[in-house]
Chain A
């Protein structure tokens, strides 16, 4: 089967750093991606890792360890607008794209 595990909720204060972890178990793996979704909206793409290591895009960074079937999204200098749900997603074989259950991030002043 295929499964992705991520924490259901994370809370942080403005200006802080938060890390959202994702572990996966899939048949076939080509990459791990991250999406942000505000309430009532559509998910938007944040980052993608196909190889081990850290990818940095502004305040957001994403890490992948293929040997550990593990990745994380790192959000720095948190802002109130970062309050949203964050999903990890695995690209498996035949373009199959599977999402985790999501982590709800609440940023407080």
Chain B
């Protein structure tokens, strides 16, 4: 079955630590996205990538970093510079063609700072 897999489902981080959230897709999609969702809020774009080895900052990129070395993978690192990282993180992908933006989402990673 094709889809997007995020891991882990729950993640606990100590203050000052970097953590990496995994996102893998087998849909052969070119574009991938990372969103942050706070309780009762919308999805805010952190980073997105249109193609391998290329990515752009979204609206709230500070304190985060990404890489796109493979088409299937788009890991997100939450660095110690992110002062309030506790949130629900969602990864998504699309075909990457303008006018065809049905986004498929992973089940999310819930990150908590302890």
Contacts and interface: CB of A to CB of B under 8 A. Distances in A.
Interface residues of A, number: 25
Contacts, number: 69
Contact of A30 (B33, B99, B105, B106): B99
Interface in A60-106: 87, 89, 91, 94-102, 104
B90 A43 contact: yes
Given A42-B90, A44-B105, A95-B94, A31 B35 contact: no
B106 A95 contact: no
Contacts of A48: 101-102
Contacts of A33: 101-103
Contact of B105 (A31, A43, A100, A104): A43
A96 B43 contact: no
A51 B96 CA distance: 19
A96 B105 contact: no
Interface of A: 2, 30-31, 33, 35, 41-45, 48, 50, 87, 89, 91, 94-102, 104
B88 to A, nearest CB: 9
B96 A97 contact: no
Most buried by A among B31, B41, B101, B104: B101
